[in-house]
Amino acid sequence: MDAADRSHDHPGVWVAGSSAFPTAGTANPTLTLATLTLRTADALANTL
């Protein structure tokens, strides 16, 4: 995935949520997940 959570291998595939994490975290990731998902949504909206 790139910085906007787009797949390198499959055009048009965006990853949002905890699937963007390479490993499991040790703390509650709720705010981090919300931030990553909003960033991905903004990038996706800018490409449409």
One-letter amino acid for residue 26 of the chain:
T
One-letter amino acid for residue 25 of the chain:
G
Give tens-digit pLDDT for 11-44.
Answer: 888 888 777 777 777 778 888 888 888 988 998 8
pLDDT recorded at residue 21:
77
> Whole-model pTM?
0.70
**H-helix or E-strand spanning residue 35:** helix 30-47
